[in-house]
Amino acid sequence: MTASTPQAVADLIALNVPVDLERKAVVSLDDEDVTLKGSLAITSPPDTLESGTQYHPETDSLGSVYLTYDVGTGEGVWTAYDDAAGVDGGTVTFTKEPHQNVTYAIKTNYDETAEVPSSDFTEGDDGSGNTVWTADVSDQLDNSIAEIEEVTYFTKTEETRYETIQIEGNFTIQKFTNEETGEEETEANFESSEPQDDSNYVTQEEWNQLEQQNKELIEEYEDSQSGGGGGWFGGGGGGGSLGIIALGVAAIGAIFALGQSNN
């Protein structure tokens, strides 16, 4: 483990959750059309995970699956838009509520792309009783009437900001990349840290600090959700294959450590 290891990953390692530090995984969340690159942590890993293979935490008996990734490197494909209308007089219509805190890139058949922050969408009615979300992109396009070829979304930021999610649905490992050499690899191995003994156990003081940190993170997360904040998957557009882990892994740590102490 190096100084560049995200704190969330370090916390998981400290709690004896198996993590593959040598390889970064490019993972597609199949139920979400989202691709993320980061470090996988699996509580009950098999001997190896292979690239090009689809997995499911429950079906494949993986236990809990966590992915820690840099929010700025993720990209998703958005399909919930009015394809028949396309870009109509500069207006784009979404049929589901946009994810919060992301930017949508809308590519047209004229090879033009408009970028729209999710906050620019306005909720309304399509005239038939259906709720829709619209945005005006006419100032970004030369052709205000066009077909939409593809809509993707990403977090527009130059900062490195890590987020940890729990994957609960199908996911496919696109590839593994060796952190030292940069070479692509076909499989990954997961190892736990040393079991706790008299020399490395968590003291009561450390446990109290972790518990307090957990409470603070949960409070911050709840405040961010009530105020419309949160990451990609904390808003109205998220699906059911993910469980968002608030602001890091302290919450996971407390739950996991408590479960271990009760065994």
Report pLDDT digits (tens) over 4-57.
Answer: 556 656 666 566 677 777 888 999 888 877 888 888 888 888 878 899 999 999
Q: Using DSSP, state whether 216 is helix, strand or coil.
A: helix
Tell whether pTM > 0.75. no
Contact indicator for 167, 242 with CB cutoff of 8 Å: yes
pLDDT at position 210, please?
57
Measured distance CA(16)–CA(191) in Å, rounded = 9
For the cut 50, the answer to whether the pLDDT of residue 254 exceeds it is no
Contact indicator for 238, 166 with CB cutoff of 8 Å: no
Percent of the chain at pLDDT above 70? Answer: 67
- Tens digits of residue pLDDT in 190-218: 765 555 555 555 566 765 665 565 555 44
| E strand map for 109-188 | 113-117, 122-125, 131-136, 148-154, 162-167, 171-178, 184-185, 187-188
Measured distance CA(126)–CA(158) in Å, rounded = 36
Phi, psi at residue 33, to the nearest 5°?
Answer: 55, 45
DSSP string, 180-204: TT--EESEE--B--PPP-TTTPPPH
Percent of the chain at pLDDT above 90? Answer: 37
Q: Which of 30-39, 106-115, 228-237, 252-261 has maximum average pLDDT?
A: 106-115
